[in-house]
């Protein structure tokens, strides 16, 4: 059961491993571009962090398999346009990506890993801008996690398997008054966690059984930054949900 702390592990609905959240302290701002010391990024661990102006963040992903692929997904606040670069253990750049724009999901899918050891993932902002972001790294053997975005007052229809999870990110402002409504199909029992900046657990919504509409009404956001709706559930078949974030 989730607890009110920066590191969160949701109550699992099956024996399938579930990801965890971690938060890292925001780095200090410097007048010229600098690279923060690298930290290890474990598979399925969802990290939320703050990228300061003129700074790069570096993450190390350890590949332990002769045949493996790496998927990286990054969500960001509306003021941060993410650039991803991946370097192999030999020091060769093997991928770079900046396609999605600020506030969207930047991703590299199924990048082939040909060497054992530490791959360096470098994160920066276009024009060295600052903002908040969330990152997850997955490999061939990982639990399925999909990042997406959600906007105020725009309903989303989503279908996902019971052995996967969806995270919907949005940029919230301090004192925004929001409501969340999730309507599942009749077969599914769903839950939603509202996660705030710095990976703090804010609310857990799971009041009803199969087919019940889950709601959080008139919740006031405590601060400005990157928020996530963590959608998960259990069923004997794929789960279909109509999700609405309203202001």
Residue 23: pLDDT band (50, 70, 90) is: low
Give residue limits of the domains in the chain.
Answer: 20-142, 146-246
Spatial distance between the Cα atoms of 105 and 129, rounded to a whole number of angstroms: 17
Query: 50-84: per-residue pLDDT in tens?
Result: 999 999 999 999 999 999 999 999 999 999 999 99
Given a contact cutoff of 8 angstroms between Cβ atoms, the answer to whether 199 and 23 are in contact is yes
Spatial distance between the Cα atoms of 228 and 202, rounded to a whole number of angstroms: 10
**CATH class of the domain at 146-246:** mainly beta
Backbone angles phi, psi at 126, to 5 degrees: -60, 135
Q: Quick check: 27 pLDDT over 50? A: no
- The contacts of residue 132 (CB under 8 Å, 6+ apart) are 48, 49, 50, 51, 76, 77, 80, 197, 225, 226
Beta strands 55-63 and 34-35 are parallel
Burial of 246 (0-12, 13-18, 19+ CB in 10 A): middle
Taking Cα atoms as reference points, which of 200, 176, 199, 180 lies closest to residue 191? 180
Residue 199 CA to its chain's centroid (Å): 10
Q: Which residue has the higher pLDDT, 176 or 32?
A: 176
Q: List, in sequence order, every residue forming a beta bridge with 96; answer none if it has no partner.
A: 85
Lowest mean per-residue pLDDT among 59-73, 81-95, 144-158, 204-218:
204-218
Given a contact cutoff of 8 angstroms between Cβ atoms, the answer to whether 163 and 14 are in contact is yes
Give pTM, 2 decimals. 0.84
Residue 20: pLDDT band (50, 70, 90) is: low
> Residue 127 gets which letter from DSSP?
G
Spatial distance between the Cα atoms of 172 and 9, rounded to a whole number of angstroms: 23
Note the pLDDT of residue 19. Answer: 52
Note the pLDDT of residue 16. Answer: 38
Backbone angles phi, psi at 9, to 5 degrees: -130, 115
As a CATH number, domain 20-142 is 2.60.120.380
Note the pLDDT of residue 4. Answer: 40
Q: Which residue has the higher pLDDT, 206 or 26?
A: 206
Unique residue bearing structure tokens 């989503």: 158
Task: Count how many residues are written for the chain.
Answer: 247
Integer angstrom CA distances of residue 120 from 52, 60, 115, 155, 182? 19, 5, 12, 37, 38
Taking Cα atoms as reference points, which of 121, 178, 188 lies closest to residue 150? 178
Note the pLDDT of residue 29. Answer: 46
């Amino acid at each position: 059961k989730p607890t009110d702390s920066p590191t969160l592990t949701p109550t699992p609905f099956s024996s399938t491993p579930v990801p965890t959240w971690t938060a890292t302290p925001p780095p200090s701002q410097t007048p010229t571009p600098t690279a923060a010391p690298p930290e290890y990024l474990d598979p399925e661990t969802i990290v939320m962090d703050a990228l300061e102006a003129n700074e790069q963040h570096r993450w190390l992903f350890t590949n332990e398999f002769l045949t493996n692929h790496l998927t990286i997904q990054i969500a960001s606040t509306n003021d941060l346009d993410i650039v991803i670069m991946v370097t192999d253990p030999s020091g060769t750049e093997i991928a770079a990506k900046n396609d999605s724009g600020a506030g969207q999901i930047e991703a590299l899918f199924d990048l082939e890993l040909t060497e054992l050891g530490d791959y360096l993932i470098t994160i920066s902002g276009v024009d060295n801008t600052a903002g908040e972001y969330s990152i997850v790294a997955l490999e061939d053997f990982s639990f399925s996690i999909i990042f997406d975005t959600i906007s105020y007052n725009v309903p989303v229809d989503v279908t996902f398997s019971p052995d996967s999870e969806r995270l919907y990110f949005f940029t919230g402002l301090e004192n925004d008054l929001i409501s969340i409504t999730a309507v599942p199909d009749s077969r599914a029992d769903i839950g939603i966690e509202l996660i705030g900046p710095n990976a703090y657990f804010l609310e857990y919504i799971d009041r009803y059984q199969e087919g019940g509409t889950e709601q959080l009404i008139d919740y006031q956001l405590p601060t400005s930054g990157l928020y996530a709706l963590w959608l998960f559930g259990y069923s004997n078949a794929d789960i279909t949900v109509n999700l609405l974030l309203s202001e």
